[in-house]
């Protein structure tokens, strides 16, 4: 009996120690700052494609204030705010489909056409499916272009449309129609237009909530001077307990958004992220470090959302000015990621992937002594991925040719020798390159690729 008791006791202690060890991996993660950082990158893309300035922030603010004007519970208000901030995350991939089909329009016509389709709503909702909403879900984004009278892309009407979607619908329409800024025409025009469309495009109940808050001049002055830090003052704190595995899952949902920026790098971030996970296992990283490194890989090119697509997809040699613009993306990546608590290493590993060991890289001209091994490995993975994938001006190289070119770069002190040889060991000698989930279009793509 005593032996059994001792066994049970020891088992309980073991379970407790294991649980305690697991809990040490969790920390408070500021979800507000994470989402706001990613929303910045979405707005850069919307500004390029549709000339919408500060759109995500304006829609988020309007959605937040209308929700509060209706007296909704704060948990729901926060979810609607997040959906307002991320509602157009599917627009970038939708825009890319226009380029693939060679549908060229004015920015205004493209915006109107894209908003009439369900595609960007479906893509956007899918991208945030794993997001930790408090009470609501991604259906707010899925149905944010539904009209009260049933004339929207999915044909839902009235109360069949989630309330959050009806709120974001009005907020989105206000900003896209009137391009809210300090020089916006008479605000009474906005109010009267919303009244006129009440019961048609918009839920009368939601319009009433908007009318209630729009009576105050401060409401308009706030949105005219809106920025991220000021918007934060309107939000309740939202910190969650998370580990790096969970944060990677959140970050990985934005990989598709980043890759969809260019038709010729449509698998770039996905490929590097897969390779980063494999290399982390090869080096025996613990679970937390593995997913921290993978998070950096997933977000290493988030700054590219600010780079004009015509430069990213240019079939010929870049001009000096165009190359300077390209360089901006790594600076922006680091700047965006540094705003997120606990992302210090992630920002460094992601933001230094174009630095070179001899100090000739960009944007900070860092030298070997100031580049951690993770920075060097990320740089090598980025080059390996880029060389083996198709670009607008050339076809991708076979893996061995890519390694041969990288070895030449090692000789002139540009990249790390160990990283290059380990990449060859893992992906060529061990055959891991054949285990990657390369989608067919990027394995066999031939159109618009130089021979």
**pLDDT tens profile 28-50:** 999 988 988 888 777 776 666 55
Highest mean pLDDT among 5-14, 85-94, 138-147, 219-228: 138-147
The contacts found for 348-352 with CB under 8 angstroms, 24 or more apart, are: 348/372, 348/374, 348/375, 349/293, 349/296, 349/300, 349/374, 349/375, 349/378, 350/296, 350/297, 350/299, 350/300, 350/302, 350/378, 351/300, 352/378, 352/379
First to last CA, the chain: 78
Mean pLDDT of 393-411: 91
Percent of the chain beyond pLDDT 70? 80
Please determine, looking at this structure, whether the domain spanning 244-444 carries the CATH number 3.40.50.1820: no
* pLDDT above 80 (res 441): no
Q: Which of 224, 234, 168 is nearest to 32 (CA)?
A: 234
Helix extents (H) in 217-319: 217-224, 228-232, 244-252, 255-259, 268-282, 287-299, 309-312
The fold for domain 28-232 equals: Hypothetical protein af1432 (1.10.3210)
Side-chain-side CA neighbours of 376 within 13 Å: the count stands at 24
Domains of the chain, by residue range, sit at 28-232, 244-444
Contacts of 45 (CB under 8 A, 6+ apart): 91, 92, 95, 261, 305, 306
Mean of per-residue pLDDT scores for the chain: 85
What pTM value is reported for the model?
Answer: 0.83
pLDDT number for residue 449: 34
pLDDT number for residue 19: 44
Higher pLDDT, 291 or 232: 291
Same fold, 28-232 and 244-444: yes
User: Tokens in use for 74?
Assistant: 């704060």
Q: Is 150 helix (H, G, I), strand (E, B) or coil?
A: coil
Largest CA distance in the chain: 84
Higher pLDDT, 110 or 315: 315
Alpha-carbon gap, residue 79 to 292, rounded angstroms: 26
In this structure, what DSSP letter does residue 29 have? Answer: E
Mean pLDDT of 166-194: 88
* pLDDT above 70 (res 249): yes
Mean pLDDT of 292-317: 89
**pLDDT tens profile 116-168:** 568 889 988 988 888 888 888 899 999 999 999 999 999 999 999 999 999 99
Mean pLDDT of 237-250: 92
* Number of neighbours of residue 131 by Cβ within 10 angstroms: 18
pLDDT number for residue 102: 45
pLDDT number for residue 417: 98
pLDDT number for residue 447: 36
């Amino acid at each position: 009996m005593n032996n059994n008791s001792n066994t049970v006791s020891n088992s309980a202690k073991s379970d407790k120690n294991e649980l305690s060890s697991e809990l040490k991996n969790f920390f408070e993660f500021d979800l507000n700052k994470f989402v706001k950082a990613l929303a910045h990158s979405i707005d850069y893309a919307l500004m390029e494609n549709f000339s919408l300035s500060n759109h995500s922030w304006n829609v988020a603010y309007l959605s937040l204030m209308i929700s509060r004007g209706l007296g909704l519970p704060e948990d729901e208000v926060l979810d609607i705010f997040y959906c307002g901030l991320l509602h157009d995350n599917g627009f970038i991939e939708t825009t890319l489909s226009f380029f693939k089909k060679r549908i060229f329009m004015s920015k205004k016509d493209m915006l109107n056409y894209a908003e009439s389709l369900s595609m960007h709503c479906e893509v956007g909702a899918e991208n945030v499916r794993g997001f930790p909403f408090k009470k609501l879900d991604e259906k707010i984004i899925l149905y944010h272009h539904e009209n009260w009278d049933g004339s929207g892309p999915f044909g839902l009407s009235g109360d069949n449309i989630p309330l959050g979607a009806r709120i974001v619908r009005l907020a989105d329409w206000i900003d896209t129609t009137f391009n809210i800024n300090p020089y916006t025409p008479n605000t009474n025009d906005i109010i009267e237009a919303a009244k006129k469309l009440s019961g048609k495009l918009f839920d009368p109940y939601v319009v009433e909530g908007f009318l209630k808050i729009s009576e105050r001049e401060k409401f308009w002055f706030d949105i005219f001077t809106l920025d991220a830090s000021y918007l934060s003052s309107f939000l309740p704190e939202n910190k969650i307990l998370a580990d790096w595995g969970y944060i990677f899952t959140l970050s990985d949902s934005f990989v598709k958004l980043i890759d969809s920026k260019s038709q010729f790098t449509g698998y770039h971030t996905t490929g590097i992220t897969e390779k980063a996970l494999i290399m982390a296992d090869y080096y025996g990283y613990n679970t937390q470090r593995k997913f921290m490194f993978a998070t950096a890989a997933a977000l290493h090119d988030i700054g590219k959302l600010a780079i004009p697509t015509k430069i990213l997809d240019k079939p010929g040699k870049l001009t000096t000015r165009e190359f300077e613009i390209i360089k901006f993306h790594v600076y922006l990546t680091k700047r965006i990621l540094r705003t997120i608590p606990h992302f210090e290493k992630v920002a460094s590993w992601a933001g230094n992937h174009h630095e070179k060991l001899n100090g000739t890289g960009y944007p900070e001209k860092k030298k070997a002594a100031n580049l951690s091994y993770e920075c060097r490995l990320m740089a090598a993975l980025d080059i390996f991925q880029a060389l083996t994938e198709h670009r607008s001006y050339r076809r991708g190289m076979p893996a061995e040719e890519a390694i041969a070119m990288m070895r030449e770069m090692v000789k002139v002190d540009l990249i790390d020798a160990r990283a290059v040889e380990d990449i060859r060991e893992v992906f060529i000698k061990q055959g891991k390159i054949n285990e990657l989930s390369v989608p067919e279009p990027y394995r066999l793509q031939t159109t618009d690729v130089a021979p």
